[in-house]
Each structure stands twice: as C-alpha cells, then as structure tokens.
Amino acid sequence: FAFFDQDNGKFDSKNHSECPEKINHVCLLKSGFSLLDANFFNDTKMLEIEKGAKELNIPVGRANRKLVAGDNGGLHNPSSLVFNSAWTYDNAVHGSEKFSYPSRSGVYRPKTEEDIAFMSVLELGQLIKTQQIKSEELTGIFLKRLKRYSHVLESVVTVTEELAYKQAKEADQLLAKGVYLGPLHGIPYGLKDIIAVPHYKTTWGSTSFKHQVLDIEAWVYKRLKSAGAVLVAKLVSGSLAYDDIWFGGRTRNPWNIEEYSTGSSAGPAASTSAGMVPFAIGSETAGSITYPAARCGVTALRPTFGTVGRTGVMSISESLDKLGPFCRSAADCTIVLDAIRGKDPDDPSSRRIFLDDPFSVDITQLTVGYLEDAEMEVVHVLESMGVKVIPFKLNYTVDSAQGILNFTMDVDMLAHFDEWQRSSKDDEYEAQDQWPLELRRARVIPAVDYFQAQRARGKLIREIRESFKVDAFVGNATDWEKVCVGNLVGMPVIVVPTGFTKISDPPSNTRRRTTITTGIYAPPDHDHIALALAMAYQSVTDHHKQRPPIDDLGPDDSIRYPPEAVTPPRQLRG
C-alpha cells in the first residue's frame, strides 16, 4: 500500500508509523468521492485531486463567492449562461406590438360590492372608463375583502393600503384630465411576495427574511404601474417559493377551506379565486402557477420562458423561473400579459417576443391535439366551434425529465442561497423536508453532472420540437411529467376551469367542491394560440365565472371561521 507524501512529492510504502492515519484519510476521501459518483479513482489519484482542490478549486470558489454570493435571492449578478426558449432564431418582426382589446359596451355597475368584486378586468375597466366607479372606491372594495378574508385563507402578507389609495387617486386624476392608460387603468391587483416593491416588506415567505425591505422596484411592478394598475397587496409565497407553507401559516383553497392551495403562488391563486383581487402576478419554476390555479379554480397563464422580465424578483433558477397572471378569465390573462411582456434590460434571459393578437386569431384554421388525460368537454366545445381536433401524443426518448429539472432547479437555487445554507439559516426553514433537504443534496452534485443534465435538456427540447406537429394541445395541467417537460422546454400553458366534482365525505348542505381544470399548451412564442383557444372555450361556458363559498360553507360544516389548522400530507412542488 503506497501513500503520497505531500512534503517531498513521493509515494512511500515503508513509513509504517503514519500508515493508520493515512489509511483513515484515504478512507474518508473514498467516502467523499462516492457521494460524487467518482469512486473510480485509485488512491493515488484521489490524493492528487485533494492537493489540486486545496491549491486551486477552493481558493477560486471562495473568491467567486466573495464577488457574487454575499446576498441571497439571486437579485444581482445573473449568470452569463442564458437559456433561450425560442425554437427559431429568425430576427424578423412578427406579430403585434400591442393587442387590440374588444370593446365592452353595455357594462353597468352592479348593485352589490360582492358582484363588483367578481367582475372581469375588462368589465371593471369599462366601469372606470365610463366613470360609473372611481378607482379609489374600487380600491376600497378590494381592500375590505383583503382584510376580511386574509386570516381565513392565510393568503396575504401585506396590505399596501397607503400606496393603493395614492395610486388610485392618481388614476382618477388622470382620467379627469382625459388621460386613459388602457384596460388596467385604476384596476387593483396583487403581487406574489417574491416581487420587490420599495418601502414594503418582500419576505419571500420565509422566516429568515420576514423583515426584509428591498429598495428595488421590480420590472413587472414598473410595467403594471405604467399601465395605471393599483397595487393593493403583497400576496403569500410559499417559503422561498416552495409549496404553500410560509412563515405565517399555510394558504387554503377557497373552494374547500379544509384543503390547501398547493404550489408557491398560493396567495395569488387563492386571493384571485376569492374575489380579493381582480388579478395577481405569480411565478413558476416547476408547477407553482399550474398547481394552485388548478386547485383554486382560476384561469392562469404560465407564459413562454423569457416573456416577462424578472428584475427585482427572487430567483430559484435563471433558466426556469417565469412570471404569469392569475385572473378570472383568459381574456383578462391576455390583457395582463400584454401589459407586462417585453424586454427587461436587466434580465438577460428576457426577450421581446412578438405575439399575434390573441383577440384576432382565427381558431377555425387551427389543428389542436388532445392527450389521453385531456378534459374532453373542452375538446368537444372547440370542435363545435370549427377547430380541427385530433388525438395526439408528445413523443420523446428522454426519460429523465424530472431528474433534469431537479438537478437544474436545486443547483441554481443553491447558488442563489449559498450564504443562507453556509450560515445554517436553513435550520429555521418552515419545512425541513423541502429546500433544506434538497439544497444539502445539491451541494454534492458535480459540475460535470449539472452540465450533462443541460445537454440532456437540450436533447429533450429538440425531440419535443420535432414531435409538436399541432398548433396546440389539450392535456392535464398538473401531471408532474408534463410540468417538468413544459418548464424545461419553456412552453406556455393556460389553466382553464372546466367544472366541479363533489368533495369526499362532505358535510350535509355544504357548497364546498373540487374544481376540475385542464391545460391548453402551445409551442414557445405562441402564447396567443393558447389564449385564443381558452377565450373561445370560455365564450360559451361559465365554469370560470363561478364563485367559491367562503361566506357560505354550509350549516353542517365542521370548519370554524376562521378555520382551525389541519395538517394533511404535504405536496412537494418547487
């Protein structure tokens, strides 16, 4: 047995007095290398690697951390490795600069605030434009609802009342001068609390950051402010954008108060569903738009990767994170998307994507596939409207999409929260089987394996592109394989409510129900196709107009008001 003598650079098999200590050291090295799946090195090579790591790898790594990893959250110093989700690289301009919104004549103010709260953005915009209601009054209606239901649903972090009234008054003053900024002029909304707004806490849903105030104006907030929208609340994000558990509790589903919302965009989904805001902005890395939208029965769009800039937003993965709207309808999603899309100069992965106008798409010219798990009512409705529908299957040979996503998401997240882990702040995290466990595991993913995962991701993207022979397809929006594939590819999907089923073992006379939804998927840069199909479906159905029973759970329901906490199994969705 030979040992490497670091002092003279030679291997010595005769120095028996040091043998026990060196044998133990080599055994420890072998254990470490086995964690990296690199135990094919012999003892000599492992000791050489250890020497090289001490001389080069560790000093370089520490120097880089000192340069860019002092702050958590990935708000600064984005990676120079930029993911582009486009399937073609034609620089020619196609599509519309801005969409042409349909006129909503004959919209009149309802008698009750409840009815006002569940109007669409287009309808509310018409009330403001025709001065049937002022933004300041409308803002007051939603502020009251936020305060009334926030403790029930645990969906609100901060009510931005002072800012909301200031922005509402400004919207009213502009309109009085004849200046109308468009359909979001004076419309209240909420932001997921990973999106920074100056002078207000941006907690990222985490105990570690619950007092954090960032002097940053997120790009998406700037866009909405310039459109005249009124921020009324910072809405719950699951802790560090993982699932629905946060430092203040766990967000609930308005349709079934004993059930949780799932997904880290829990606050935007639950608050929109309950009529606490007309729309909200959430985010998705791996299911955090699709899951809570499906659970809470709202229409929501996960747009093409790169459509919406992310400056001022906590980052999990710079090649996976996306911002998108939660709304009452696909038409509302279209309006909000139009306001927030565009090139963010400080987000290298954002792009100026020219979409065709969804309001002008001729759906009779489209071929739409349907998967085995599609809600066939949607397929039949679209077919009756002139859409060509065919059975469809996405064919690809890459069988490790879930593993590719986990490698990508976890390593990127650890790069953004390196200091958090090194300082043991992960010990105070709200659910130890979530980020703490995943990021400890990510610490020993070798760089070469991370890049092999990106090569496998590239192969998956090429195979999906070759297989996508339809204009769009209909399928389950919460199937985990499709969530992983869709996010790795960067393809858009809109979640559409399609009906309800009874809850299991319901109390008598309850109005609690389980929502049914489906997804309409389109190729990257073709969000307008998914939006147009969803708008067509919703033009002849009313599932998206139903209201959850948060004021009328039923006389025999066991739940109290506010509800007691219960702890069903967690659903782990990043």
Could you list the beta-strand ranges (E) of 214-278: 230-235, 245-246, 249-250, 252-253, 256-260
Residue 450 tokens read as 């991370």
- Whether the upstream peptide bond of residue 78 has omega within 30° of 0, thus cis, is no
Quote the Cα angle for 312-315-316, to 5°.
170
Number of H helices, E strands in the chain: 18, 17
Dihedrals phi, psi of 363, to nearest 5 degrees:
-70, -20
The DSSP element (H or E) to which 299 belongs, if any, is strand 299-302
DSSP string, 300-354: EEEPPTTSB--TTB--S-TTT-EEEEEESSHHHHHHHHHHHBS--TT-TT-----
CA 350/CA 352 separation, integer angstroms: 7
User: Residue 143 CB: number of other CB atoms within 10 A?
Assistant: 20
Q: Residue 298 to residues 207, 368, 381, 398: CA-CA distances in angstroms?
A: 29, 23, 19, 32
Residue 69 tokens read as 């990893």
**3-state SS class at 496:** strand
Dihedrals phi, psi of 390, to nearest 5 degrees:
-140, 150
CA 354/CA 22 separation, integer angstroms: 63
Beta bridge partners of 256: 253
Quote the Cα angle for 265-266-271, to 5°.
110
The DSSP element (H or E) to which 139 belongs, if any, is helix 135-153
Dihedrals phi, psi of 521, to nearest 5 degrees:
-105, 145
The DSSP element (H or E) to which 280 belongs, if any, is strand 280-284
Residues involved in catalysis: 192, 264, 288
* Range 202-237 burial, b when 16+ CB lie within 10 A, else e: bbbbbbbbbeeebebebbbbebbbebbbbbbbbbbb
